[in-house]
Chains A and B, each alone.
Chain A
């Protein structure tokens, strides 16, 4: 399995609080991604990174920010969590070219 660790694995928090999810990889891959999975929507890309300090928006980026200060870590932040951001969040990594993306085991986030 690709060396991807997501933390925390589960989190319950209240509306309006800040939340940071962490993705850590040991594969030294260039590309890292954050997705959310919701019933009826499949997987949707939030943000991605193509290098240290190089990030870009995905399909559903509103309300989220990311940072990548080291190759191995990609952080997803919800500045002020809302109930609509209750979801399962997956981090993925990939190397160059057509190497497939490999996913972490997800973080289940509940915002009450």
Chain B
């Protein structure tokens, strides 16, 4: 039973365009969501998070949108750069704390020059 789903295993975009990575969840108790980026042979790196009391959080080129009624969140990267090429993981937890994250399977983003 996969509670956090990233249905697109891969995404390819052109440099300078927008990248949109999607994530769906099934557990209505989830109230805190995070995105991580992972390069090969390295550990995941925290990118951005959002609490369920918000519907948008922005940090530079990265914006996360949360639609609670649809149980859907998305990560927008604008403009996309070749260095953004990595695997992106969506994660969620409940209880207003950070323990016991549930991760999606990840989406491989490739940004072409």
Contact = CB atoms under 8 A, between A and B. Distances in A.
Contact of A103 (B6, B45, B104): B45
B103 A43 contact: yes
A43 to B, nearest CB: 4
Q: How large is the interface on B (under 10, 10 to 19, 20 to 34, 35 or more residues)?
A: 20 to 34
Query: Chain A interface mostly helix, strand, loop or mixed?
Result: strand
Interface stretch (A12-20, A44-52, A69-77, A79-87): A44-52
Given A103-B44, A103-B45, 15 more contacts: A41-B105, A42-B105, A43-B89, A43-B103, A44-B103, A48-B99, A48-B100, A92-B43, A94-B98, A94-B99, A97-B96, A97-B97, A99-B98, A101-B46, A103-B43
Interface of A: 4, 31, 33, 35, 40-45, 48, 50, 58-59, 90, 92, 94, 97-106
